Amino acid sequence: MSAVLRAQDLHTYYGKSHILHGVSIEVAEGELVTLLGRNGAGKTTTLRSLVGLTPARQGRVELFGHDTTHWPAHKISRLGVGYVPEGRKIFSNLTVLENLSVPVSRPGRWTIERIFELFPNLGERRSSWGRQLSGGEQEMLAIARALLINPKLLLLDEPSQGLAPLLVREVFRTISSMRKEGISILLVEQNARFGLDVADRVYVMNDGEVVHSGCARELAQDEEQVRAFAGAESRAAVG
Amino acid sequence: MELVLFDGFNGLIQGAFYALMALGLSLIISLNSVINFAHGGFMVVGAYLAFALAPYLGFWGALIAGPVLTGILGILVERFLVRYLYARPDPVYSLLLTFGLALIIEDSVRSVWGAGGVPFAIPSWLDSPVSETYFFITGYRVFVMSAITLAAGALFAFLRLSRFGVRIRAGILDLETVAALGVNVYLLRAVNFAIGIALAGFAGVLAAGVLQLSPTMGNDVIMATFVAIVVGGIGSLFGSVLGGLLIGLAAGVTSAYYPVASDVVIYVIMAIVLIVRPRGLLGQEGLFE
């Protein structure tokens, strides 16, 4: 399988603070890769470097064979990279339907009609303001918005954050079904159990570095190591 | 009573100009994050362009060409000057740049067309009063009010109904996420800046028919425009319109009763609003909420 995403030795800064210290990550076609780590490990910064929002100062990002390290975000998106940011970042001042008309769609199977079939709640609330939606609906809207790009690669930043367990399961079902559609996925998670359940491979980050990479199933069986890597937050989830 | 009506109507016209200027300025502040002190300068450019073009294109041609050319100038200014401010969030840079730009525009106009005022002819059928009792309501003034209402309505429709307009509103809230969804935010900001500047140009052409043209005619308007935005609430386009009309009307009515206070009353209103409701009348509500 060929790599859709290959990031090599990324060094990313916010102003003068050095956040990523040589991060290397690969996602193969059709693969679901999870990025685990504690708060502040650099997971979000890694995603931001990949989508062009905080470009790496050193290193190289390759997407679908293009060197996109210094490309502007919109150009990267138009290659077929969908991004669901941390905290959803839906447009609270727009209606649901307006939110869905912001992305620049590439030709493909995902249309607003199909989105409303998959997420009937959003269809019913199409005229509601973004800020009137519940947390779960906001998450679905953020995923729907990224799907309308018709992505070949989907990057999700903590889609389970702040959701009730039932909703978390629904979100992960949706992610699994995206994957069955042939979309490659890079998933950032703090919830180690869910993150490992759905993934093929896993990277664990700490202090801006990748400290472990390997098969998700193997890591899932090694509870001691999950605790050591993913920190206190995941203890309850794993144990 | 008639004097109050007279001054009130004058104030309303003045307020409509403030509202139109404040709309454009508000768009630019919100999406381009630039406090544009040259906004009054662009109004002057629009007015003088109309004056220069009217002999060739007639009044109606100049009314269209003036704002369009001002908007094109806006695109150039955004591309070669303002764009470099985006990476510098410190407002001092944008103040320095646009204040300098305002001075450059004023002196350029002065060196081309002279320091004195020049007359701008409007069609004679628009120049006569629509009623004998209310002699101050000329056809042109009714026309100005309608044109400004139409321009504001068109802007709101554009922002509500067109995909580009929806993206501008989304970008005002969160430009990064808009970019990550594939929208070329450089183009979005350039067009937004041009729209704001074209509105200033349009205000200039309309004002040319009411006031005498002079290189400094933008200076009086720009301060009132900022007051309108603060009163209406920064970030709210409806607030800008409301703030503009309110302070225009207040200045007009005050000049009927106590003329010397008519300049100062808008600042008094601003101070009261800032004390009672610091976010402005419609602030925080955001766009169209």
Is the minimum CB–CB distance between A115 and chain B shorter than 8 Å?
Answer: no
C-beta of residue B280 within 8 angstroms of C-beta of residue B236: yes
Quote the pLDDT of residue A38. 87
Tokens encoding A136: 């779960």
Higher pLDDT, A143 or B219: A143
Quote the pLDDT of residue B211. 73
Residue B88: other Cβ atoms inside 10 A:
12
pLDDT band at B139; cut points 50, 70, 90:
confident
pLDDT in tens, A100-157: 999 999 999 999 999 999 899 999 999 999 999 999 999 999 999 999 999 999 999 9
Query: Under an 8 A CB cutoff, do A101 and B169 touch?
Result: no
Mean pLDDT for the stretch of residues A169-196: 89
Quote the pLDDT of residue A223. 75
Say if residue B127's pLDDT is above 80: no
pLDDT in tens, B27-42: 999 999 999 999 999 9
Q: Specify the DSSP class assigned to residue A222.
A: -
Most confident of A35-44, A70-79, A162-171: A70-79
Encode A157-225 in three state secondary structure.
ECCCCCCCHHHHHHHHHHHHHHHHCCCEEEEEECCHHHHHHHCCEEEEEECCEEEEEEEHHHHHHCHHH
Is the minimum CB–CB distance between A112 and chain B shorter than 8 Å?
Answer: no
Give A-chain residues touching B282 at CB under 8 angstroms: none
Query: Under an 8 A CB cutoff, do B173 and A145 touch?
Result: no
Mean pLDDT for the stretch of residues A144-171: 92
Quote the pLDDT of residue B121. 74
Average per-residue pLDDT for chain B: 90
Give A-chain residues touching B288 at CB under 8 angstroms: 93
d(CA A44, CA A59): 17
Pick the closest to residue B207 from B261, B151, B145, B154 (CA basis): B145
For B182, which of A89, A104, A129 is closest by C-beta distance? Answer: A104
Residue A128's closest chain B neighbor by CA?
B289
For B287, which of A73, A77, A93 is closest by C-beta distance? Answer: A93
Give B-chain residues touching A53 at CB under 8 angstroms: 176, 179-180
Say if residue A239's pLDDT is above 50: no
User: How close B152 gets to chain A, by Cα (Å)?
Assistant: 20
pLDDT in tens, B50-60: 989 988 998 89
3-state helix, strand, coil in chain B (%, to 5): 75, 0, 25
Hey, what domains does chain A have and what are their CATH numbers? 3-238 (3.40.50.300)
Say if residue A66's pLDDT is above 90: yes
Pick the closest to residue A118 from A140, A146, A136, A138 (CA basis): A140
The answer to ipTM > 0.95 is: no
pLDDT in tens, B222-281: 999 999 999 999 888 999 999 999 999 999 889 888 888 888 999 999 999 989 888 888
Give B-chain residues touching A77 at CB under 8 angstroms: 179-182
pLDDT in tens, A33-55: 999 988 889 999 999 999 999 99
Say if residue B286's pLDDT is above 90: no
Are β-strands A201-206 and A58-63 bridged in parallel, bridged antiparallel, or unpaired? unpaired
Give A-chain residues touching B173 at CB under 8 angstroms: 91-94
d(CA B11, CA B8): 5
Quote the pLDDT of residue A27. 97
C-beta of residue B51 within 8 angstroms of C-beta of residue B113: yes
Residue A85: other Cβ atoms inside 10 A:
23
pLDDT in tens, B69-104: 999 999 999 999 999 999 888 889 999 999 999 999
Quote the pLDDT of residue B1. 67
Calculate what percentage of chain A has a pLDDT beyond 90: 69
| Phi-psi region at A9: left, alpha or beta (left = phi > 0; alpha = psi -120 to 50) | left
Rg (CA), chain A: 17
